[in-house]
Amino acid sequence: MTLNVVLMLVSGTLLVRSFLGLFLRTRSRYAGWWMALLVLAGASSVVDLLSAVTGHAVAVGLGNGLGAATAACAWGAARALDHARTGWLHIASGPAVAVAATVLTAPSLGTGAGAVVTLATMAALFTLAAIRLWRTRFAPSGAGAHGASTHGTVAVTGLAVAVSILALFYVWRVGALVALGPSSPVYLDYAGASANALVVLVLLVVATFTMSELGQVERMIELRIKATRDALTGLHNRAELDRRARVRLAARQGPVAVVVADLDRFKHLNDTHGHAAGDRALQAFAGAVRRGLGPRDLAGRLGGEEFAFVLDVAGPDDAAARLESVRRACARLRVADGAHPLTASYGIAMRAPGESFEEAMRRADAAMYRAKRAGRDRIVLHRDEATADDVATADPAGEASAAAPAA
């Protein structure tokens, strides 16, 4: 109980420090999530004291919900450092599960109602937070990137270690509770409320006193993303795609497909339905690309309505199949009333041994123009300087079909 009181007081002190020292100055999303965590940690300590004294089911359920919400905010803060947004619906799902489990088991378990589910939920959320922090630490554009400040790198590393320890501690709490029971001396001494308050207290102090550096890391990553991403579509911009593609082609020994795609009748769409419809078309196409390509594939906007992809594939047929999934997804999209279905022409060039990215791009671009001349909305594979194969076309019903080589 004494440690819970200390946790409550420390949470309040750190909250004031965080609000005055960082949030008012930067309006950082990471700082916002961390302040929410401090509020919930303090409230959880108060409710835990009440439930220990009264044993009331409402206090038990509220304490479990607040505990899970604290872990959810840690996950939100970790995602904010990586410039990922977290909706309140995602945050609320963990506490909702904890409260529901408490309500369902309260008649039989009393003050222990929902404990296993709550601790398992918190272990999962802290684990997700730790994974995200380590990902930020070692990501090419994250805290460990070239040019990142030493203090920022150390701060993210320290927080990642602290949250990882906390995640392991909650896994231990779940295991001890299930295996030993809530009244076991081992559980009470090494996994109970006092041990939990001590571990959380250390985490709060470590994270809060590195908040200035972590806020700087968040701003640095945001600037890097703005410098490497196309603002409208969220895909890589041309310079970043070129950089990543050179690295990929130098590292990969297997087949690589370089693709150039160009939206069909884009000028007509802009002239007829306005630039807002054109922007929606670009965003819708980028969304279809993200859903249709593989996790290791690269995609970027070259400019205007032109895009390029670098695909790790088994061969030409594999590349064509991925693009066909994108083509089919686009065919179902409408970006304006009365507008044609969203279509694009695709040119594929399989990287030849020793070939540079620029050379493969030129061949893919030539194949894309062949697709345009052949009627648009199709995928053309470049074979050599003189020929290209039309590997997918659109029939009147909008379905793909094989075609003879196009001249």
Per residue in 305-323, pLDDT (tens digit) is: 999 999 999 999 999 999 9
**pLDDT value for 45:** 74
The answer on 191 and 76 residing in a single domain is: yes
Domain presence at residue 374: yes
Host domain of residue 81: 2-227
What CATH number has the domain bearing residue 273?
3.30.70.270
Helix (H) or strand (E) holding 381: strand 379-382
The verdict on 40 and 131 lying in the same domain is yes
Listed in sequence order, the residues at least 6 apart from 61 whose beta carbon sits closer than 8 Å to its beta carbon are 99, 102, 103, 106, 113, 114
Q: Name the token pair of 222.
A: 């945001």
* Number of Cα atoms under 13 Å in the Cβ half of residue 330: 32
Q: Of 227, 256, 279, which marks where a domain is finished?
A: 227
**200, 240: one domain:** no
Average pLDDT over residues 385-405: 41
Q: What is the pLDDT of residue 399?
A: 36
* pLDDT 10s digits, 126-157: 999 999 999 888 876 554 443 455 667 788 88
**Does residue 36 contact residue 18 with C-beta atoms inside 8 Å?**
no
Does residue 13 sit within a domain?
yes
Do 223 and 241 reside in the same domain of the chain?
A: no
**Would residue 313 count as lying in a domain?**
yes
**CATH number, position 117:** 1.20.1070.10
* pLDDT band, residue 406 (cuts 50/70/90): very low
Last residue of a domain, one of 195, 227, 259: 227
Report residue 407's pLDDT band, with 50, 70 and 90 as the boundaries. Answer: very low
Burial 241-267 (b: 16+ CB within 10 A, else e): bbebbeebbeeeeeebbbbbbbbbbbe
Mean pLDDT confidence for 389-395? 48
Query: Against a cut of 0.75, is the pTM above it?
Result: no
Band (375; pLDDT cuts 50, 70, 90):
very high
238 in the same domain as 125: no
Q: For the ranges 26-30, 60-64, 65-69, 286-290, which has the lowest average pLDDT?
A: 26-30
CA dihedral 59, 64, 70, 74 (to 10 degrees): 180
- Kindly list the strands in the beta sheet with 306-312, ordered across the sheet, starting from the edge strand earlier in the chain: 298-303, 306-312, 256-263, 344-350, 379-382, 388-394, 400-401
Domain boundary among 204, 227, 250: 227
The total of other beta-carbon atoms located within 10 Å of residue 181's CB is: 11
For residue 194, what pLDDT is reported? 77
Residues 79 and 168 in one domain: yes
Q: Are residues 179 and 257 both part of a single domain?
A: no
pLDDT per residue as tens digits for the range 235-263: 999 999 999 999 999 988 889 999 999 99
Residue whose C-alpha is closest to residue 129's, from 44, 214, 71, 202: 71
Range 377-382 average pLDDT: 94
- Residue 103 — very low, low, confident or very high, per pLDDT cuts 50/70/90? confident
> Does residue 393 sit within a domain?
yes
Query: Which percentage of the chain shows pLDDT scores above 90?
Result: 45
- Domain co-membership, 194 together with 338: no
Asked if residue 244 and residue 116 are part of one domain, the reply reads: no
Q: What is the per-residue pLDDT for 20? A: 56
- What are the φ and ψ backbone dihedral angles of 209, each rounded to 5 degrees? -80, -5
Pair 229, 238: CB distance under 8 Å: no
Q: Residue 6 has what pLDDT?
A: 63
- Among 108, 381, 141, smallest CA distance to 260 is for 381
406 within domain boundaries: no
**DSSP category for residue 108:** H
Quick count: other Cβ atoms within 10 Å of Cβ 88? 9
Instruction: Round the average pLDDT of the chain to a whole number and report it.
Output: 81
Inform me whether the pLDDT recorded for 400 exceeds 50. no
Q: Is 163 exposed, middle or buried (0-12, 13-18, 19+ CB in 10 A)?
A: buried
pLDDT at position 157 is 87
Of the listed ranges 38-42, 185-189, 220-224, 372-376, the one predicted with least confidence: 220-224
| pLDDT of 86 strictly over 60 | yes
Judged against a pLDDT cut of 50, whether residue 266 lies above it is answered with: yes
- One domain, residues 148 and 220: yes
Q: Angle 9-10-13 (CA atoms, 0-180°, nearest 5)? A: 90
Instruction: Give me the DSSP letters along 9-47.
Output: HHHHHHHHHHIIIIIHHH--HHHHHHHHHHHHHHHHHHH
Reading the block at residue 322, the tokens are 């991925």
Model confidence pLDDT, tens digit, residues 320-346:
999 999 999 998 887 877 778 899 999
Please tell me which of 47-56, 208-217, 273-282 the model is most confident about, judged by mean pLDDT.
273-282
Residue 407 lies in a domain: no
My answer on whether 119 and 43 are in the same domain is yes
Query: 253 and 272 share a domain?
Result: yes
Report the pLDDT value the prediction gives residue 149, as an integer from 0 to 100.
57
Q: What is the mean pLDDT of residues 203-217?
A: 68
Q: How many domains does the chain have?
A: 2
Which has more confidence, 164 or 204? Answer: 164
